[in-house]
Structure 1
């Protein structure tokens, strides 16, 4: 069933003694805004967690298979699409032919949307190598930003083993390996999201897919535990539902209704209870309703 409503949503999550999204260009330190000191988590990181949850809960089977996943070879998936729509003849020959005819590309794109949840949800560039076109996804997420500036703590860690015999000989039997670990003591992050009914119609993203998206955003951290990420938890999912496809209010005006502030007298927040979350539901624009998922 296709969507007939626009949605704007606010995702609130926190981290305690963990690294929510390390920056490989900065020694895997937690990402931050260099000017303000606020922590950042990329939209790519959040989408990865949604993909992982959907893949786990639906066993990566159509129509809930995952296109961008670990060890995937994307062009092999494109080739699979061509074979599924009966266009094997366009997989051989010169480079121009391998780009596919307009009709073949359109049918391959449709097949990809039908079979891969993340393609019809977030969109994808499917034109690398074997051409399956491009898909603009109906669901978009912003970077998540921490409510307060963060500090990144650096910890020295020790492993009571070494990797090779040569390492052991160098240490004369001490057999220790030193390392470093970066954590954020505590922070609450807020991300904004958007669901377009118009783009959903183009990809086939329907009501069941939307329900699965809300479920994934609520549960994704429960199945993404690791020593590096510490404790991460979804603390709030506030969904503004418009009673039309075009919408009844500006997204930013709705997002401003969700405010998170540190409580007075709390100098160093270390728990979710150190903050106050308030949602202004008075005088909501006509045609907009709030669905508080958590």
Structure 2
């Protein structure tokens, strides 16, 4: 198992849509974990059209950790199938998709940091990869054990000055927290207005992936709108396919590409 953590430094750069899209396009078995500490339940309300957690998710993993139960079995008990995108009849999905719902009690958020090492250890030899939507980094940064267990940490950003100004504030503490060489950027809408090379040179970390600016396709994932059969062929779908393949290959190889 490899673990990719996605976070944002500012509001609405598209981190949840990117995490969901990467999971759906992942070239292998993948589990999407909603670890957003704001407990927005965006995927349940959006892509899953208002489904209830039915008690499943991070809350159950926290309880298993408290009871010292094996977290590998607990993780499998807490995830649920993540519906695949529409495909041609002869087109097989690239792997199984699972989803672990997020926090249902705000009081549990600060207690969960101690659970991450057990999840990483339990999944070390697993066939699936974890894609973690960590939401905003916040003023205290990401949980230390989540950072320590990640194979790659990506700050999702746009290329506007507003978005990049927030990256400058939050990127340095993340690198200094013990994740040098494992931190990079996922750029949504390259060239709006700044290019990927300019962004990488400015911040001194690699751009791990580029995600196309495609608001209508993004809305289909984010707002629970019907997903069309041609979604995977949209600019967003194609860019996420390339990003998922590149990220998986990079993480399984054990190193990130250096910034230019």
TM-score, scaled relative to structure 1: 0.27
Higher share of residues assigned helix: 2
Higher share of residues assigned strand: 1
Bigger CA radius of gyration: 1
TM-score, scaled relative to structure 2: 0.29
